[in-house]
Structure 1
Amino acid sequence: MRDFTYLRATDISEAVAALAARPNAQLLAGGTNLVDLMKYDVAHPDAVIDINSLPMKEIEVLEGGALRIGALATNSQVAYDPSVQSDLPLLSSAILAGASAQLRNAATTGGNLLQRTRCYYFYDPSTPCNKREPGSGCSAIGGVNRIHAILGASDACIATHPSDMCVALAALDTTVEVVGPDGTRDIPFLDFHRLPGDHPERDNTLRTGEIVTAIRVAGGHFRRHQSYLKLRDRLSYAFALVSVAAALDLDDGKIIDARVALGGVAHKPWRDPLAEAELAGQPATREVFEGFATRLLSQARGQGENDFKIPMAHRAVVRALTQAATGRSQIQAEKRIR
């Protein structure tokens, strides 16, 4: 770990000013990702700005039933909040599928949105990686790529986004609140993360000096018909090979609205709203779900070692939608696929 300057922000404006004045600074909240990256010499900020004392920990119910979750609310705090469990069970389930209890106690909402990829080569400074050093190449292409992307990849990067929470947020009506040198703005969640393109070093659409202060999630009509399914190499403390956040609004067995987001398959949580729209008016049957999964994955491309992810993702989409339709959501504590 390299030397750095430690700063402790006492209010949001001070944190914004400190971050804007130091282009190579990083914010410290739970530290569950940043500290690892610094130890591995992947991230070497010249300044670390501690924001843990800022007033961004509250979870509040807004007029209309939406929930506003502060960026410093811990993953455990969010997962076990009564309003989240009641109105957004998909979000609670996704969080509980991730990491370990100890990490969830420390990791924050804002940090979860901003965490970096878990690509082997990104974490190894001795290998070329365009995310770590733009223009150096992507070692995963033609290398060990079992965990890598099958959708939205580019010739510059095939890494995947590691979050479970973000997959659920992508399936719901979520807005990211940010503040920066030019004031406040809202970012629709589907626009917050980026595909790699020619600039895989850019994970999101934040501008210089901007800080995530909260997320707003619309109060849902997906309380009953939802499921978060996570497929991984072991049943605890493992990142998803494929995960699915599925949510349905049904009327007499017919689909009124459908949301499906995939994790473990792309550089960002993956959704296709056009494919979802075609489900409206159709019966909630396995045959319909099979057709949807085929369309959703029609552009999927493997890299050799991860080819298995394509049929795995297809089956996972069908299973998650079936669980959601029957009102039998995946229960993370059971440690088995229902």
Structure 2
Amino acid sequence: MTDGTRGQATVDRAESGQGGAGHRPAAVRRAILIGSRAEPWIRGLVLAALGLLLGLLMLLHAKIPNRPGNLGSLVETFLPWSGLGIAVLLAGALRRRSASATAALLLPVVVWVHLFGGRFADRSHPGADLTVAGHNVGAANPDPAGTARDLAASGADVLALEELTPQATGTYEKELAKTYPYHVVLGTVGLWSRLPLSDTRPIDIMNYGPLAETIPAGEKTAPNRALRTTVTTNRGPLAVYVAHLGSVRVNPRAGFWTASRNIGVQALGRAVAAEKITRVVLLGDLNGTVDDRALAAVTGQLRSAQDAAGDGFGFTWPASFPVVRADEILVRGVEPDSSWVLPATGSDHLPVAAGISW
């Protein structure tokens, strides 16, 4: 065999993966060769920078200032959707065949999994003593009777409704009377119960603190958007709060406008802090999420049933394509056993329910 023939045979064995441990298959050798080149690491540096910025944004979201325009609250409201940014950047990195951009995405991936990965585990367990549910039924709901029947069939022992209108309240009272012998309505919120109610009173969530004076007249909301009552159970009294906090909106002039809601948060937090009954449940449309720092006056005292015993994010608004969990069940002194989102009704919100135990 000539020297040229022997050399060719050596190359053939290497390409086919034959030979000793020092020889690698051709595909592996090509991948190592590409990775060792400088080009994949200097390609896509802008994508790599964006990936690192996204990771830092998620990691340090609590440090984002809320002025101007409540930017920190806006980021925290939609923080779970930062995962979409990871997917977009990954697609760009693969298209550009950028090793640096792909490696940079490790930071946002790790941070996102740390923040939200646990929410995909089923944290529920059986044995609830009481089932509670809440629903913003929607002022423009075209079928309040159908909504009432759906809610009555949910199996809830205690049912809170928000955004009641004078025209629809009678319909809800009529349709729910058979299932819930006890109920109270104050303004635009109400509570229906299989168990007796007592010590019901309104909570003024629109005229609390100096910030209330800064709300323009056109932005002020209807009074009586929150109430507190006592549900008498065979395990003792349960304080139940129903609330519909002020609306928020995003516009170029004010940014993320939350003044009306934030006033209600402070007033509601003050009421909960003064509550003498140790077992408390809050059902309501908070017009924000528990991740938003602006709700700390409430979320610092109560915990989310969804976070404790739910499965997934439990988004509730808008009903056609939910992107945030604006409707919450928060508890103190009782144990959440399960939490879930009920099927859509005629409202633009989805109902929520939770099982709780003493």
Give the structure-1-normalised TM-score.
Answer: 0.22
Give the structure-2-normalised TM-score.
Answer: 0.21
Q: Find the structure with the greater CA-based Rg.
A: 2
